[in-house]
Structure 1
Amino acid sequence: MNTASVPAGSPERGSLTKVVYILGRGRSGSTTLGQVLGAGNGFFYAGEIRYLWDPVLTHNTPCACGEQLSECPVWGKVLAELTHIDLDQIVRYQREVLRESNLVRLMRTRPDQAWPALAAFRDATDDLYSAIAKVTGCRVIVDSSKRPSHALVLRYAPSLAPYYVHLVRDPRASAYSWRNRQYSGGAGDQIRQRSSFDATLRWLLLNVSSELITYRTGRERLRRMRYEDFIAAPRDTIAELADWVGETLDESSFADERTVRVPVSHAIAGNPVRSRTGEVVLRDSGEWQRSQPSRDRLIATTVAAPVLHRYGYPFKP
């Protein structure tokens, strides 16, 4: 094919598509980080791609732009590239491969080692990200799916070059959000609120699981980041991440050190802030520090105690 037909800014034919995959626990600022990265030229923030087949497509959940995916100017074209994939079948593969109880098996198995579901899901995943790159003309896809299982599948995809950002937020802030914030999930239903104990236990398990990815990817492809450090210096943080993946900061995406110009979003699933556009000032409101009950804070601190120091958080926030 004539390379002159490749959209401006798109990867060269035969090159790998870069994926910045955000690992960690929900309510840790992954949507905000994804939006800010995706505001730069050559970057596309796709939202939580692990939810595309199910529940986004199975429940006909709209894109952040407000359109149904089939009518969205981005996802409509992406899906047109994937008509060879049977939705019912790929959903079955997804549920088998990404099941949390299969994480250890996923870490030990390669797609060519007698796991047909993994091989098929790997191929569909490769086709999906390649279609996104083709339609958007972007060099880097930003995916805030967070789950370690999906991160491992990306490692096996032959057309992708994944970079993993392990995003960590103070467990007490995460617990406060899970207990007090409520919004619709990928299926359009309300995500259930969680107790401080339940939310922090999941925070602990998912962050420890995210660290296991290091043993399969190598440290050069994984970077740990605290949400508090990102929100304190967003422009500098994005510049460092862009350099890490071999790109440069798009100066036009920032109005000043902490104000980002967010374009129309086509992110799927995730926090409702994925729909915001225009100039967004990035700062931490500190609401959880003012409003969290002392009992909830004590529970979250106790459950997260084994790794608080590792992630740089004091016992008394």
Structure 2
Amino acid sequence: MLGNVLAEVPGIVHVGELRFLWLNGVLGTGSNGRCGCGLGHRECPFWSEVLEEVRPPGTSLERHAADVVAWQDAYRTRHTWRVLRDPPRDGWPDVLAATYRAIARVSGARVIVDSSKFASDAALLASLPGVEGSYVHLIRDPRAVAWSWLRPKAYTGRRSALNSTWHWTGFNLAAEAVGRAHRDRSLHMRYEALVRSPRAAVGTILDLLGHEGRNPVAADGTVELGGNHTVTGNPDRFGRGRTRIEEDRRWQAALPRPQRSATTLMALPLLHRYGYEKRV
């Protein structure tokens, strides 16, 4: 939801989890394959124009998408530290830079919010020509994350509590590495702080971006959401109209004790660092 809230500021566009545009949107081999506008990505006027602009002449969309997905395999979360040390400049980095340029042209936006959640992609930004990266590391209690992954969803698979916590740990450590490399352009924010004071949190992010624009969040924590062209993500990206930003605490009662204990134990080193209690 954060990306869609920011997109209500003039000059900002939220594209969702851009990394999956080719896997989900072109090849159709992933999950959650509709654009936020409700159309398939290849039928969506926004993404069809972007995809055509990025596609090399003489190469079909399918062939190019297959190449992109293969290149992306060298830029997974575990590769973040390598990318920070020695950023490559061909393959996926070239495509990512070209896609950002196409999005900026088609949307007319100065700021692109990419919520792909791959720190390795964030690590690339500083090396992409014409791109100035800002980094928001949004952290949530791992037990809430575990409960979310345990629930059946139509748009993605499920993970065990241990598996989701293992990924949570890796993602956060990689995001920390990017933040350390770009301290003056980075912000760490807990989900709980965002939903409890959404107007202040969004204002802090706009300050980080150096973007002058009306804060879309009202004093009562509501926001008017319009349409969007998000690649993939949580189903709340399809929401429209006046929406209240509020904390989801259902996991505190719903997460079974064995999974709660396992998640707490596995995440213990980072729980204290992020200010979470061991007992909830």
TM-score by length of 2: 0.90
In the alignment, structure 2 segments of 5+ residues that lack a partner are: none
Counterpart of 2:176 in structure 1: which amino acid? E
Instruction: Tell me the SS of whatever aligns to 2:167.
Output: helix
Q: Deviations over 1:7-50 (max 9, x none)?
A: xxxxxxxxxxxxxxxxxxxxxxxxx1111111211110100011
Q: Deviations over 1:209-260 (max 9, x none)?
A: 11111343x2111110000000001111111111111113424x33443111
Instruction: Tell me the SS of whatever aligns to 1:279.
Output: strand
Moved over 6 A (4+): none
Structure 2 match to 1:236: 200
Tell me the distance in 2 between the aligned counterparts of 1:280 and 1:100.
33
Q: Closer, same or farther in 2 for the Cα pair 1:183/1:153, shift >3 Å?
A: farther
Tell me the distance in 2 between the aligned counterparts of 1:73 and 1:171.
38
1:46 corresponds, among 8, 15, 27, to 15
Instruction: Tell me the SS of whatever aligns to 2:115.
Output: strand
Structure 1 match to 2:86: 109
Matches within 5 A, 1:1-317: 32-59=1-28, 61-84=33-56, 86=59, 87=64, 88-95=66-73, 97-111=74-88, 118-184=89-155, 191-216=156-181, 218-251=182-215, 253-317=216-280
Higher relative strand content: 1
Q: Tell whether the 8 Å contact from 2:134 to 2:186 is kept in structure 1 after alignment.
A: yes
Tell me the distance in 2 between the aligned counterparts of 1:182 and 1:158.
38
Counterpart of 1:68 in structure 2: which amino acid? G
In the alignment, structure 1 segments of 5+ residues that lack a partner are: 1-31, 112-117, 185-190
1:71 CA drift (Å)? 2.5
Structure 2 match to 1:27: none
Counterpart of 1:231 in structure 2: which amino acid? V
| Aligned-residue CA RMSD (Å) | 1.8
| Percent of aligned positions that are identical | 35
Counterpart of 1:298 in structure 2: which amino acid? S
Instruction: Tell me the SS of whatever aligns to 1:298.
Output: helix
Q: Deviations over 1:140-187 (max 9, x none)?
A: 111111111111222211111110111100111111111124231xxx
Counterpart of 2:114 in structure 1: which amino acid? D
Q: Tell whether the 8 Å contact from 2:36 to 2:229 is kept in structure 1 after alignment.
A: yes
Tell me the distance in 2 between the aligned counterparts of 1:199 and 1:233.
27
1:106 CA drift (Å)? 2.3
